[in-house]
Structure 1
Amino acid sequence: MIVLRNVSKVFNASSGPVTAVEDVSFQVEQGQIYGIIGYSGAGKSTLIRLLNGLEKPTSGSVTIAGQCITDATGEQLRRARLKISMVFQHFNLLWSRTVSENIAFPLQIAGASKAVIKQRVQELIGLVGLTGKEDTYPAQLSGGQKQRVGIARALANNPDVLLCDEATSALDPQTTDSILDLLLSINRQLQLTIVLITHEMHVVRKICHRVAVMEAGRIVEEGEVLSVFTHPQQPITRQFVKQTTEYSSANTPFNPQLVDAQGGCVLKLTFIGVSTQQPIVGELTLKYALPFNILHGKMTQTTHGTFGELWLQVAASDSQLERILADLHRYDITTEVVTHV
């Protein structure tokens, strides 16, 4: 559906050339929700403008639904853009138009008949959960409702691809979840390909199938969300994962003074899929006749399955610890020795 090959974008500034995107390659399959995550200045905004044809790459190619938009110009580019819609962070609604009129706007530009527009607007209002708000103006809507209007408007011309540029960044956590649930529902109902630009790992975890991590214009890590969450390879990826695991050396999920007083070692176990249902702690306790103190636990759901994290404290000798780690490896559980006294 979407293929980027060795895409770079260099801007000519007064101080000299500035590389915003450098040698980026990835592929998004039809019906996938693909997340692109990075901090400010990583190149995400430039990348999304390359995807919708608002910017031309300095080198490389961008192909969407078999159409190379890198080479498209004039009418050919306009037709290609009709199949690529955008949802924005700050809604970009027409404040003098009602909900229905905002959703109808792209249909009017495309030259659709009044009958077609009326029917399509009603379909979309129902799809995004705004029934009863047809004649309401944007100023009378909550942030989440405004974004629902933006999503409905983006879907008006039946696009092949929906680009979401920080679509939940201006919303509170509860509203963010409701919008993400809506996007996931739309993806499943319409088999719509969605590309999400974000700096929030929670967004990626909740609905994305694959994720690319950007830093300084490059993609430094890419893969299925569950794999990236459980085995992050790059330091920046580990920083993002900590947003949802709530663990860092400066903010432990348990009382470090209690751990220091009891001694031993602290193990961080990461479970994937069926291993989350196995009685691992009980079996280890029986086998080694050691008390395993559960310090903290967390289960996380992604679109590709569940993974769990568990912090255990155990006063084991070096030889026992070696055997415990080997047993956990046989259970296909990733284990990290957080502290070892």
Structure 2
Amino acid sequence: MIVLRNISKIFDHGKAPITAVDKVNLSVEQGQIYGIIGYSGAGKSTLIRLLNGLEKPTSGNVTVNGHDISAAKGEALRQARLKISMVFQHFNLLWSRTVSENIAFSMQIAGTPKAEIRTRVAELIELVGLTGRENAYPSQLSGGQKQRVGIARALANSPDVLLCDEATSALDPQTTDQILDLLLDINRRFSLTIVLITHEMHVVRKICDRVAVMEDGRIVEEGDVLSVFTHPQQPITRQFVRQVSQYAEEEAFNQELASDLTGHVIKLTFTGHSTHKPIVGELTLRYGLPFNILHGKMNQTAHGVFGQLWVHVNATQDQLSNILADLQQSGIESEVIKHG
């Protein structure tokens, strides 16, 4: 669906050239929700503008649904853009137009017949949950309602790809979750490919299938969300993972363990079906040892649950080795945080 091959974008405004995107390779499959996360200045906004031809790459090429966006010009580019819509952080609504008129605007530009526009607008208003607000102006809407209008407008021409540029950054946490639920529902109903950029790991965890982490114009880590959350490889990725509140507790908790307990402390990581196994009870029965549960947490992603559990046990070295082997056999990852 979307393929970026060795894409670079260098801005040269007479001073020292700025490399905003540096040799990026990326693939997004049809129907995926793909997250691109990075701090300000990482290059993610430039990258998303390369996807719809608002920026042209200095080198490399961008292909979207079989169209070479990086090479397209004039009418070919305009036609390609009709199938690549964008949702913006600050809504970008026309303040002198009503909800219905904002949604209809892109269809009017595309030359869609009036009767078809009316039908499509009514469908989209119901889809995004704005029934009864058809004649309201943007100044009369909440932030979440404005973004719903933005999403409906972006869907008006039945795009193949929806780009979301920090679409929830201006919203409170509750409204953010509602908008993310809406995007997830749209993705599942229509198999719409969604690429979203964000600096919030909660957004990635809640709805994305895969995620790319950007730093200094490069993708430094990429993978399915569950793997990136449970095994972050790069320091910046670990920083983003810690944004989710439970992870902020982990470092302080580990430090306390190191000083306060004797015996072994084992960190268990569960994914998928293994989260439902009564593993502590099974270990207690098998080895006749008391396993003390010290700390635990569960997290939900779009592709399943993962959890972590810290247990304490006084065991011999041989028993510990057997316990770790049993955990591995059960599909549960383990790490000895503290040796007795």
Shared fold (TM-score greater than 0.5)? yes
> Structure 2: which amino acid aligns with 1:329?
Q
Deviations 1:188-231, CA, capped at 9 Å, x for gaps: 11111100101111111111111111111111111111122222
Report whether the alignment pairs 1:338 with 2:330: no
Q: Which moved more, 1:66-75 or 1:266-275?
A: 266-275
> Structure 2: which amino acid aligns with 1:173?
P
The 5 Å alignment of 1:125-140 reads 125-140=125-140
> Structure 1: which amino acid aligns with 2:116?
V
Q: How far 1:299 moved relative to its partner?
A: 1.7
Q: How far 1:286 moved relative to its partner?
A: 2.0
Deviations 1:255-296, CA, capped at 9 Å, x for gaps: 937x74443333221101111111110111222332222122
Deviations 1:14-73, CA, capped at 9 Å, x for gaps: 431111111111111111111111111111001011011011111111000100011101
Instruction: Give secondary structure in 2 for the equivalent of 1:89.
Output: coil
Give the match for residue 72 of structure 1.
72
> Structure 1: which amino acid aligns with 2:76?
Q
Deviations 1:144-190, CA, capped at 9 Å, x for gaps: 11110000000011111000011111111111111011001101111
Give the match for residue 92 of structure 2.
92
Instruction: Give secondary structure in 2 for the equivalent of 1:336.
Output: strand
Report whether the alignment pairs 1:158 with 2:131: no
8 Å CA contact 1:246, 1:253 repeated in 2? no
In structure 1, C-alpha distance between the alignment counterparts of 2:245 and 2:284, rounded to whole Å: 26
Q: Paired residues, what number?
A: 340
In structure 2, C-alpha distance between the alignment counterparts of 1:321 and 1:311, rounded to whole Å: 15
Alignment CA distance shift 1:250-1:270 (3 Å):
closer
Q: Which moved more, 1:58-67 or 1:231-240?
A: 231-240
Q: How many percent of aligned residue pairs carry the same amino acid? A: 73
In structure 2, C-alpha distance between the alignment counterparts of 1:78 and 1:273, rounded to whole Å: 44
In structure 1, C-alpha distance between the alignment counterparts of 2:127 and 2:253, rounded to whole Å: 40
Alignment CA distance shift 1:270-1:58 (3 Å):
same
In structure 2, C-alpha distance between the alignment counterparts of 1:140 and 1:159, rounded to whole Å: 28
> Structure 2: which amino acid aligns with 1:122?
A
Alignment CA distance shift 1:21-1:321 (3 Å):
same
Instruction: Give secondary structure in 2 for the equivalent of 1:243.
Output: coil
Instruction: Give secondary structure in 1 for the equivalent of 2:154.
Output: helix
> Structure 2: which amino acid aligns with 1:241?
V
The unaligned stretches of length 5 or more in structure 2 are none
Instruction: Give secondary structure in 2 for the equivalent of 1:189.
Output: helix
Q: How far 1:85 moved relative to its partner?
A: 0.5
In structure 1, C-alpha distance between the alignment counterparts of 2:15 and 2:188, rounded to whole Å: 47
The unaligned stretches of length 5 or more in structure 1 are none
Q: How far 1:253 moved relative to its partner?
A: 5.4
In structure 1, C-alpha distance between the alignment counterparts of 2:103 and 2:249, rounded to whole Å: 48
The 5 Å alignment of 1:248-327 reads 248=248, 252=252, 256=256, 260-327=259-326
In structure 1, C-alpha distance between the alignment counterparts of 2:123 and 2:111, rounded to whole Å: 18
Q: How far 1:251 moved relative to its partner?
A: 5.2
Alignment CA distance shift 1:272-1:245 (3 Å):
farther
Deviations 1:2-21, CA, capped at 9 Å, x for gaps: 11111011111443111111
Give the match for residue 105 of structure 1.
105
> Structure 2: which amino acid aligns with 1:39?
Y
Instruction: Give secondary structure in 2 for the equivalent of 1:195.
Output: strand
- 4+ residue runs over 6 A deviation: none
> Structure 2: which amino acid aligns with 1:297?
G
Deviations 1:78-107, CA, capped at 9 Å, x for gaps: 111111100011111111211111111111
Instruction: Give secondary structure in 1 for the equivalent of 2:168.
Output: coil
Q: Which moved more, 1:294-303 or 1:95-104?
A: 294-303
